[in-house]
Structure 1
């Protein structure tokens, strides 16, 4: 089997130094055009594929970007990674994926951070939904390492951050139900220790307040962002006395909405005929359940795209001003972003909240004919 060509081979065949080959491969200036053409021709003829790691070492900077993700089974991760990969494909960088799976959490997330710092393999880290692990990611930032967060659980004060406009999304969902004539609208919250759950609850409250409708504690139940907690919440809500039951439910995640669908099917409750339902996230399977779920779409793919764009801006800036994430990259990036940016004058770290959109499907139904539904008694 033929030996794989190295950068030393290309330099020897072209009659130039390894540094000159490296400059050509990295599109650096100050290389004679004829020399550049000769090197590129030899690279093509020899089928040479440069190593991203070697290129980084030769140029003094890695051309690998680290992406830290939770379990790959989370339904939104594929869309976020798709946006990341699409953006990376237009650059000279490649990806290294780090996963915070159950084994990693058992052994300690800090071990990954120590590994990243000690190996100096990647030029920066995009941390996707790190949640409780964000404290370890902040350590990277404190060491002067380029870091960007895509998060909906915490809002670290020092690190560039990208997320969805949860409050506006929830507000739009509840406004839609109000426009359909619903007045008894229940809310199944996510865990209230998370920022996104509190923001979605505030959007729910805001929409009700604008219509002069008080928030009834009996219609608000905290769930766990999973199907089981959605089912339990639906059982509690639909076991209320008939005149106190909701005619509509706004679930803080699609998975919790699936729990409502499951319980309604068990009890013979028609959705949307007797109960309207709206979720949050717009994961792919929500278009496939029956009835198809009305839901708030989070721009997961755009989050990945924007996250990488911000990270690259920080890295490029660090070439001129060593890891100074408090300078002009935010201004430069704002020209590329359609997002609303909250950037306090005394706290420059970038905050980007991407707009959500309401995807209307069958589960919220048509306009209400009466203020109360005819939901039958529910057995526990």
Structure 2
């Protein structure tokens, strides 16, 4: 029996572990926190993306389109709450129409069901929306991703996986007779293969294992508001702006959740700590690493104005945040929104200042490292798991 150690207990690590157990491997999952899905998987928007934003043929495009189907099927099979509600991507000005048209072409190229609508047709879905045209994306859904993780943990326990909370990886070395050994505070875990799904710390785990990854994780905090209960009627489903094609962020949007609440956001500001969910969360080590990486300064030169500045001012000003929402739904006012937590996106940055726009998965001897898996990774989790498992078992 092949033994595999998975580092990371978010939705990717758990999905990879579950796929490997289904293929007959014995799996140990190491999670440094004391509960599963502690970071990105437990702080995301809860959206199952359709896959229209990503370059045709890229891993993101292929795995998110397939992941939309497999995640909904998984939820249906295991009783996880979900709603295939669809969404609108809206052009609020004539200047955005070319980008909306390109998005529609990309949807067709990726095999995503989407329909261009005029303003009157869009208002049949969202009566309060303001737009000149919109793209209706039919397969977008909302789901309870933490519940997905709880099901995966239950399936892993039933399969006899070794699940270890509160167990960080402290060192990684090659085994004396092949394979990989991972030192933890409690013991040394030996395996034939290591799979790194450490998310916000994936590049550090790769360096522990002797790799020198080209990318560096740069944390971006995404801050959310929500509509007050008395204003939730303004949004029926999901309303997104036309995104900036030069950035991997989708812009501040509106999402009706499974419980009927309406979340607004996220923005995207550089975090001063990899797990910095509040503006005052600062890690000297994390900040020093970001500032010492040449790609950070090249990114700043490329996007500081106006994109970066707009995100910062929106973070500092509730009025600016509300104004961004009012471009989509003019009836939304500053007093209609209240703070609702934050998430942190583990975004891989290249030395030339480009943000990695695809999933990045690197292989070494007896090792596989998932080095860039931000959104739509939760959507794609089961497909990423199959992709990784194919590579694990191919070397067995």
TM-score scaled by structure 2? 0.28
**The structure with more strand, counted as a fraction of residues:** 2
TM-score scaled by structure 1? 0.29
Larger Rg: 1
Larger RCO (CA under 8 A, 6+ residues apart): 2
**The structure with more helix, counted as a fraction of residues:** 1
